[in-house]
Amino acid sequence: MAQEVKNKGWRVTFSGTAINLALGILYTWSIFKDYFKDQLNKWKYNVGGGIDDPRNDQLSTGMRSRNTFYFGNLYYNLIPPVNLCVEYSRWETDYIRKADGINNRIQTSVIYSW
């Protein structure tokens, strides 16, 4: 004698809810993925640095014996001709028989291109 299954209605209800939730998530992702892709394409960045290290035997007191700098900037394209930018740079300068110098700089700008 076969057993009778009870409460099939709840199984069907929860299965349908799970399938609808999964389809809703996939549909939402299909809508927003292009938006996120467009937003990521609006960001650009640059990084760089440099060193100037002359021969110290050719320098006199107070002259720069070494210059080092690092920078990084980040651009956001607000609308096609307008970019917002923030930049950080660090400069380290060594002098002959004089106190060394260190400079940290943060700069922001709005760039309009025509």
Encode pLDDT of 18-75 as tens digits.
Answer: 889 899 888 888 888 888 888 888 999 999 999 998 888 888 888 888 999 999 999 9
3 band by pLDDT with thresholds 50, 70 and 90: low
Bridging pattern class, strands 43-52 and 82-95? unpaired
Q: Which residue has the higher pLDDT, 6 or 38?
A: 38
CA atoms within 13 A on the CB side of 37: 6
Domain ranges of the chain: 7-41, 43-114
Query: Rounded to two decimals, what is the model's pTM?
Result: 0.61
Q: What is the pLDDT of residue 5?
A: 60
Name the burial class of residue 87, with classes exposed (0-12), middle (13-18) and buried (19+) by CB atoms within 10 angstroms of its CB. middle
User: Could you read off the pLDDT of 73-98 as tens digits, one per residue?
Assistant: 999 999 989 999 999 999 999 998 88
Helix-, strand-, coil-residue percentages of the chain, each rounded to 5 = 30, 50, 20
Which DSSP category does 84 fall into? E
Q: What is the pLDDT of residue 7?
A: 66
